[in-house]
Structure 1
Amino acid sequence: MTLHSAPTEQRALVTGATAGIGAAFARRLAADGWHLVLVARDADRLAEVAAEAREHHGREVEIISTDLSTDDGCAVVEGRLAGGTPIDLLVNNAGISLNKPFLRSSAEAEARLLRLNVHAVMRLTLAALRTMTERRRGAVINVSSVAGFGAVMPGSTYSASKAWVTNFSESVGQSTRSFGVRVMALCPGYTRTEFHERAGINMSKTPEWMWLRADDVVDEALRDLRKGKPVSVPAWRYKFAVAGLRHAPRRLLHAVARGTRGRIGREER
């Protein structure tokens, strides 16, 4: 599979495709010649993204409006991955964070986070890899986060869910490489999207230099996928941050992280 100039028969399925990194993947892949299957809950916004890809790039676009935090929603997308025109690239981008720390959260909210950030990623990756390994071609990008490399958000379970996504992707990728199929975890830092706003998290104190552009994140992700990297961390500043998170003494890491929400982005109360 080439990601420089995709043959016209290649198709990518992107979840969480109506905004942010998911929408940036849809735009970039359509511009590169990929046909698309776009998945999100908001049917109207899906139709807008699909219309752009059709009108500007002449791509074929299917839309699936469904909630991946539910079993039924996952089953719909699993069915598409298993049947119909084959999917050559799966981008698992859909995910959520919560605006309350664990001690003030609810079991229902935490379960929904795990269903979307972990359970849906596992189910869709498995469905995609079954056909990709049979065909001996394809790739999966699971959107994780720099936050997954350390407990840098006191009281948040988001980073724990993303640690799972990164570890899962690396592990599964080792087993699929011999079939000619790549699995990569994409681990961006703070990215200009609707993600924090939708979660009700106030990011007004986050320094400007920490923000990434979604289009730049996608560009680097596709470059790293072509290179066969199991983990992609866009931007040198976040590569350095990940090195620190991996190797810093835990006591130091916890001391630095203790006031993270107050300095960078505290939850709305």
Structure 2
Amino acid sequence: MNTFDFAGKTVLVTGASMGIGEVFARELSRRGATLLLVARSEARLKALSEELGNAHVLTADLTAPGAAQRLFDAVTARGLEVDVLINNAGFGIHGRFGDLSLAEQREEIDLNVVALYELTHLFLPMIERRQGGVIQVCSVAGYQPIPYMAVYGATKAFVLSFSEALWAEYRPRGVRVLCLSPGATETAFFARSGPGADPGRKARPEDVVQLGLAAFIAGRASVVHGGANKLMTFASRFFGREFVAKAGERMTRPKAPALLPPATGAR
């Protein structure tokens, strides 16, 4: 494929108010792109937009029914056309499947899968006309079953399969589709997922973004950030899925709450 220059392009970034999405916005602004910043936090988006100077703010809760269509309509109502869509918004929660609320796990599916699918479907005709592309921010969790984050892992497995299929389908038509899979990254992800999901050491979001943009420009279908993550996703192909799931269960099992010492009398 031909080389790709972000200068003068219009890029829509979901989940742009913090973490990987914010870093994408800053880096693409530096490269000369016009940005459409999407998130629920209007105040954070406005502050970022004012700082960057070449960005539009579009506040949206992408877990709400019909949110993707409303966002698409808002973009077209402004007379804007998108060259690159970055589906970055997403979250995960850690815990025993039956203990986690049905509503919150449904929100994971609505944001990580439904919104991503709908935005991709809505914007792809426009992106194809402009010979642009899509970056789907996935996770190494999409490469194997993730006990105690079963829904999150399943949503990311969808993103991986969906993105690689679209890459093959749209590549002959001049459209790039990249699945970017980071591991644990220094973002607010673990504040919502819970401490049980936090592995400790994390990557810098700046490094994830640089890798993603380089892979997108190169026309790759997917890329995994981090040497250990690449090894893990590669090695998992050689073990049965039952073995991988059982090993994952031992590593990610929620810790039992600490027991308080028995009372010894009044103070």
Fold match by TM threshold 0.5: yes
One-letter identity of the residue aligned with 2:131: R
1:166-205 equivalence runs, <5 A:
166-202=160-196
- Does 2:67 match 1:76? no
Q: Deviations over 1:171-197 (max 9, x none)?
A: 112111122111111110000000110
Distance 2:212 2:149 in 1: 29
Do structure 1's residue 38 and structure 2's residue 29 form an aligned pair? no
- Identity across the alignment (%): 32
TM-score, normalised via structure 1 length: 0.88
Give the superposed CA RMSD. Answer: 2.2
**Count of aligned positions:** 256
The amino acid of 2:185's aligned partner reads T
Listed one character per residue, the Cα deviations across residues 211-266 of structure 1 (whole Å, up to 9, x for unaligned) are 1100000000011111111011112221111102233222331232122224xx86
Alpha-carbon distance in 1 for matches of 2:136, 2:3: 19
CA contact (8 A) 2:185 2:203 kept: yes
Corresponding residue for residue 158 of structure 1: 152
Determine if contact 2:83/2:126 at 8 Å carries over to the other structure: no
Q: Is the 8 A contact 2:7 2:31 kept in 1?
A: no
- Alignment-derived partner of residue 57 in structure 1: none
Tell me, in whole angstroms, the C-alpha distance in 2 between the residues paired with 1:74 and 1:267.
Answer: 40
Equivalence for 1:253? 244
Q: Structure 2, unaligned stretches of length 5 or more?
A: 259-267
3-state DSSP of counterpart to 2:92: coil
* 1:28 aligned residue: 27
Range 153-162 or range 76-85, more displaced = 76-85
Could you tell me the TM-score, scaled by structure 2's length? 0.89
Distance 1:149 1:247 in 2: 12
Match of 2:97 in 1: 102
Quickly say closer, same or farther: Cα 1:114–1:105, change in 2 above 3 A.
Answer: same
Q: Which amino acid aligns with 1:85?
A: L
C-alpha distance in structure 2 between counterparts of 1:53 and 1:153, whole Å: 40
CA distance in 1, matches of 2:32, 2:147: 39
Match of 1:118 in 2: 113
- Distance in 2, matches of 1:40 and 1:212, equals 23
**Larger deviation, residues 15-24 vs 102-111:** 102-111
Is residue 82–residue 127 contact of structure 1 (8 Å, CA) maintained in 2?
no
State the shift of 1:130 in Å: 1.4
Q: Distance in 2 between matches of 1:266 and 1:6?
A: 46
Q: Counterpart of 1:217? A: 208
Letter in 1 for 2:227: W
Q: Secondary structure at the match of 2:195?
A: coil
Larger Rg over CA atoms: 2
Q: Which residue of 1 aligns with 2:263?
A: none
SS in 2 for 1:140: strand
